[in-house]
Amino acid sequence: MIRHADPRLVLSVLASCCVLALSGCGGGGSGGASALPIAVGGATTTPARGTALNTVPERTVRLSAAEFKTLLEADSRGKRIEDAAGVPKCGIDVRYLQYQTIGAQGESIPASGAIILPAGTDPACNGPRPIVLYGHGTATERNYDISNLTNTNQPAAAEGLIVAAMFAAQGHIVVAPNYAGYDKSSLPYHPFLNADQQGKDMVDALKAARSTLAALSAADSGALLVTGYSEGGYAALAAHREMQASGIALTASAPLSAPTAISLLIDASARGFPPLGSTTFFPLITTSWQKQFGNIYAATTDIYEDAYAPGIDTLLPSYLSSDELFSSGKLPRYAFFPADATPGPANASEAINYGANNLVRQSYLTRWANDVQASPCPGNALPTTTASINTTAPLDCVPTLGLRKAAVANDLRNWLPQQPVLMCGGANDPTVNFASSLATAGYFRARGMPANSLNVVDLEASDLADAYAAARAGFAQAKAQKRASSSGTTAEVDQAVALAYHGELVPAYCMQSARVFFERVLAAGG
């Protein structure tokens, strides 16, 4: 049965949720059953990686172009999305995909995601269409399902809407995995920033989705564009690496605000630059890398204070929202390190990440910081230097701390793309430091990637007149509007902008930049 969206429902999503899950939209949710083994000749067999577990993915919602336009234009945030994405040319036909992939230890598990098809009579919406493979931002809520984008209780709804507006409503087929560990996946953890697993997960979702297109009366043009935001940007570049190694044809990739130089960011955290949001990111990281390598800790109390250590290795993803995790005392909202930590915050803006009832022990911070000092990685200087950005050996270091070993292993500065890449972000991002994109791009340049194949867009560079000027102007306007709508002292307004920067202000304009980049690559015959 086709379900058409109630405009009031979608508008409520746009009004009440953050733009992306990274800024902590709420959501509860129900558990999901894992996919059953497939019966073959009376026996059961585990499906192979990339198998579609529902060969005709169920429709979750269908909107005409006119309905989608009305929804976006009835809300200020939706209008801002439309300003960046453009008026919808196509309607959207959203399908729920289930596929088989693997976990961090190679365990075969089911996962889910969305296929968002362009629909309508416009020529841009019909015939063979390019595929955009999209990786979503960090989500703390286990019931994250990007196909359920008209459900006000769904933490993926806002991100699903912006991706649908930016790509599907402009004529692209979108494939967007929820990732292993979310929605109906039976994996009890999420392989967060595990480069090998996340690259494979993205590829498996793509393979499964492609196998269903004929049954959905859709056709793939052969152009494959890979992008994602924040964690999803990392997953996108990991997928590019996986495809290149596996011989899968790819047109271009655009990792957006991505922690691709994760070793740099991990080292920076111990030197006074922990990212805003560390109290949720870090438990995801330690659980993921413990599953991957087994040497991050002997016990969770090695890292975490007694108030948080019990059960923190199974806490995320959670059926509680971020706010519920904070209010119930399962995690502190901001206090990552102690108020009197050594090393302390590198500057005043980092002070929010230090405080009472902190998450990470001083004893662990001491070990972490000492290892950074004793075994520095050449590409991990922060603030960055010309030498650290342009080195061909950014990871030529031998850390002894398990966390830093894992970060080096999962850093994506260890290969060279053969297809065009765009990186985008904002220079003042307090959540994913823009140094990650600069360092990754610098490494690619140092390894010989042609200048015309590598684009870096800083949304703060408003004086540049290039193909991305409109995105920069839109970002500047959105930031000014956020500042104007925030009350309090100058410091309080600054903090309001900082809290909105990564999850609310940057995403639409980096996605706009990605689409411009993709269109230019396709127009050039890519």
Q: Would you kindly state where each structural domain of the chain is located, as residue ranges?
A: 7-261+413-523, 263-410
At 508 the three-state DSSP class reads helix
Q: What is the pTM of this model?
A: 0.93
Give the span between the Cα atoms of 205 and 210, in whole angstroms. Answer: 9
Residues pairing with 255 in the sheet: 228
Contact by Cβ (8 Å): 242, 200 = yes
Residue type present at position 348? A
SS3 readout for 55-98: CCCEEEEEECHHHHHHHHHCCHHHHHHHHHHCCCCCEEEEEEEE
How do beta strands 108-119 and 129-135 pair? unpaired
| Helix or strand (DSSP H, E) at 458 | strand 454-458
CB 446 within 8 A of CB 391: yes
pLDDT tens by residue, the chain, 526 residues: 333 344 333 433 343 333 343 443 333 333 333 344 444 445 568 999 999 999 999 999 999 999 999 988 978 888 999 999 999 999 999 999 999 999 999 999 999 999 999 999 999 999 999 999 999 999 999 999 999 998 878 999 989 999 999 999 999 999 999 999 999 999 999 999 999 999 999 999 999 999 999 999 999 999 999 999 999 999 999 999 999 999 999 999 999 999 999 999 999 999 999 999 999 999 999 999 999 999 999 999 999 999 999 999 999 999 999 999 999 999 999 999 999 999 999 999 999 999 999 999 999 999 999 999 999 999 999 999 999 999 999 999 999 999 999 999 999 999 999 999 999 999 999 999 999 999 999 999 999 999 999 999 999 999 999 999 999 999 999 999 999 999 999 999 999 999 999 999 999 999 999 999 999 999 999 8
DSSP conformational letter for 428:
T
Residues comprising the chain, all counted: 526
CATH code for the domain defined by 7-261+413-523: 3.40.50.1820
